Amino acid sequence: MTKIIVDVVRHGETFLNRLNRAQGWVDFELDERGRQQANATGEALKNNQYDAIVSSDLRRAIETREIIMSHLVKRPEQTYTDKLFREVFFGYFEGLDADANWRMIAHQNGYQDQDDIIRHESLEAGRNMMHDMDPTGAAESYEEVIARLHRGLRKLVKESQDGDRVLLVTHGTFIRTMANWLGVDTVGNFPTNAGLTTIEADEKHVKMIEYNHKFS
């Protein structure tokens, strides 16, 4: 059975992150602090030997990937993008103030904010509330995000050799959803920009090794 280690890095900060906007599939480049964060992570990972480096196809993830790669002592031959690792799609709520989005969704369901939803119900419930309240019906449900994650990880495993180590650059809510699915309490602990989460994956199972290690 093929088993791999995946170092999952969130992209560096963007201007929309600073504005606390729901970025989702909105494409935006890193700001100066985001580039500094990516450089710090690249320096921390420079001696790791990766068999492949994969990123979301969104610009902020690609730019973070390229900065990290510039620090690696040994670069792998395989480097590519995969839209399966895009951020969660927020549909109607894309580009809007994230806290305002969640206050509106929470108040409509008898809660104060997203963390209040998670504490009393679950992150899954919150994700599905956003989906249900999207007038376009486009915001991804929890089940849709996890299904996309499964497809992406199965593809990574299939294209790897047993014992490979892969670097994956993706997005905050996507990583948080994965961590929640793996049993991590993420209330008050959102993935930091350019932070590292490490998992172990094979064809059937995924295991959390470390969540949200910060380098900067």
165 known ligand binder: no
Q: Summarize pLDDT for 39-54 with one digit per residue, the tens.
A: 999 999 999 999 999 9
Q: Would you state the pLDDT for residue 46?
A: 98
Tell me whether residue 66 is annotated as binding.
no
Mean pLDDT for all residues in the chain: 97
42 token code pair? 């690249």
Mean pLDDT of 125-144: 97
Does the annotation flag 17 for ligand binding? Answer: yes
Residues 75-117: pLDDT tens digits?
A: 998 999 999 999 999 999 999 999 999 999 999 999 999 999 9
Task: Point out the catalytic residue in the list 29, 43, 77, 87.
Answer: 87
Whether 11 is catalytic is yes
Beta strands in 100-191 (DSSP E): 165-170
Active site residue 203: no
**Is 101 known as a binding-site position?**
no
Q: How confident is the model at residue 124 (pLDDT cuts 50, 70, 90)?
A: very high
The full set of domain ranges for the chain reads: 4-92+140-213
Position 156 scores a pLDDT of 97
**Which pLDDT does position 51 carry in this prediction?**
98
Catalytic residue among 11, 71, 131, 171: 11
- The pTM score is 0.97
CATH among 3.40.50.1240, 2.40.100.20, 3.40.50.970, 2.60.40.10 for 4-92+140-213: 3.40.50.1240
192 among annotated binding-site residues: no
109 is in an annotated binding site: no
Residue 216 has pLDDT above 80, yes or no: no
138-170, pLDDT tens digit by residue?
999 999 999 999 999 999 999 999 999 999 999
Q: What is the 3-state secondary structure (H, E, C) of 36-97?
A: HHHHHHHHHHCCCCCCEEEECCCHHHHHHHHHHHHHCCCCCCEEEECHHHCCCCCHHHCCCE
Cα–Cα distance for residue pair 12/93, rounded to 1 Å: 22
